[in-house]
Amino acid sequence: MWAELLARIYEKELHVAARSEDKIPYTAKDGVFDDHTFEIDWWTNGFYAGLLWQLYGFRPDPLLSSLASAIEQKLDAGFLHAAGMDHDSGFKWLLTANASRILTGASASQNRLLLAANDLAGRFNLAGGFLRAWNDGGDGSKAGVAIIDCMMNLPLLYLASTLTRDPRYREIAVRHATTAAKHFVREDGSCRHIAVFDPATGEFLREEGGQGMGVGSAWTRGQGWAIYGFTLSYLHTGREEFLAAAERVASFFLTHIPKTGLLPVDFLQPYGCDWEDDSAAAIAACGLLELKRATGNKRYADAAEELLAVLAKERCDLASSRDPLLTHCSAAYHDGQHNFALIYGDYFFVEAILKLLHKETFLW
């Protein structure tokens, strides 16, 4: 099943790539990708290149590498815009520059990785032991804000330590992951999206609802970031507390999957609300497959495969005439639009299928 699905996705994506030259997609309208090049520092701008590189690693085609390399070069403009450099540098450069480094050996790509890692490391708050999330207008209002998404950006720092043989980057990543395990993961295994600290003392002040339904809720994509992110930190460091955090979140996640297998935007959203997030399922599936690798527990792989099978059957558009793959993603619970295409949903769906087939280029 999975090999056949991958073959169909590969065929579709060659058609999509042929008509998506010069684009950096974020979403789609009427089946056609938009182009987010106008906002070059947008957090999702690495995902389409990552998808192209993953397919290139599976079966090389110059069209795929050409488009992916072009996106990587466009992202250079972000290095000159301080307000756009944020906690999501891993998403932007692991899936572009790191993929290029691995698959082509490009020295310019390694240089970009180190530039991005240095900037990310500079966001570290010494008092609180966390990487600051968003920027602000210079008033310091976001100086104490950290978010669960950042767990997925820590591999950029682990990689930088490996490339430079300098432990500073790794230590920053470890300290952030330690803080996240303490302040983001609740007793029941659900996860906060936003934690706010006093930036001067490091004291934890409060939780904020963020992209989930509200304070105390369980935003499904955030649970996916946590499963995958803590597992990656365990794989990079061997520290058992990170594996324990990943398993605690996974336990909550698995017991809250609806009978349909289709994930809501928030696990605690009202009954009857039909807002879904396919991207949360794809991200969680990737994390669960890595958690199986870390623990040997087949339960995680079985759950991942079930999530992916539902997406493949119910929410995957394989028509070569339309650009996106997954059809029912949501960016945030309180947004005005739901159940639409998002490029990171497509990326993680493809990554997960490649993991199942042992064909993935590991970028994290």
- The answer to whether the Cα torsion of 237, 238, 242, 247 is positive or negative is positive
Locate the domains of the chain by residue range.
2-356
Residue 108, pLDDT score = 96
Distance, CA of 244 to CA of 250 (rounded, Å):
10
For the segment 206-219, the average pLDDT, to the nearest whole number, is 97
Buried-exposed string 125-163: b where 16+ CB fall within 10 A, e elsewhere: beebbbbbbebeeeeeebbbbbbbbbbbbbbbbbbbbee
For the segment 110-123, the average pLDDT, to the nearest whole number, is 98
What is the residue-wise DSSP string for 1-50?
-HHHHHHHHHHHHHHHHHT-TT---S-EETTEE---TTSTT-TTTTHHHH
Q: What is the pLDDT of residues 228-251, one digit of tens each?
A: 999 999 999 999 999 999 999 999
**C-alpha distances in angstroms, 22 versus 45, 48, 271?**
12, 12, 42
Residue 27, pLDDT score = 98
CATH tag for 2-356 (out of 3.30.420.40, 3.40.605.10, 1.50.10.10, 3.30.70.380): 1.50.10.10
Residue 189 has pLDDT above 90, yes or no: yes
Identify the band that residue 316 occupies on the pLDDT scale cut at 50, 70 and 90: very high
Report the SS3 class of residue 167.
helix
For the segment 20-32, the average pLDDT, to the nearest whole number, is 97
Contact 310, 281 (CB under 8 A): yes
Residue 12, pLDDT score = 98
Number of Cα atoms under 13 Å in the Cβ half of residue 229: 30
Eight-class DSSP state of 150 = G
Residue 137 has pLDDT above 90, yes or no: no
Residue 340, pLDDT score = 98
Residue 224 has pLDDT above 90, yes or no: yes
Residue 92, pLDDT score = 98
Distance of CA 145 to the CA centre of its chain: 19
Identify the band that residue 62 occupies on the pLDDT scale cut at 50, 70 and 90: very high
Distance, CA of 232 to CA of 154 (rounded, Å):
9
Q: Quick one: 50 exposed, middle or buried, by C-beta within 10 A (0-12, 13-18, 19+)?
A: buried
Residue 173, pLDDT score = 99
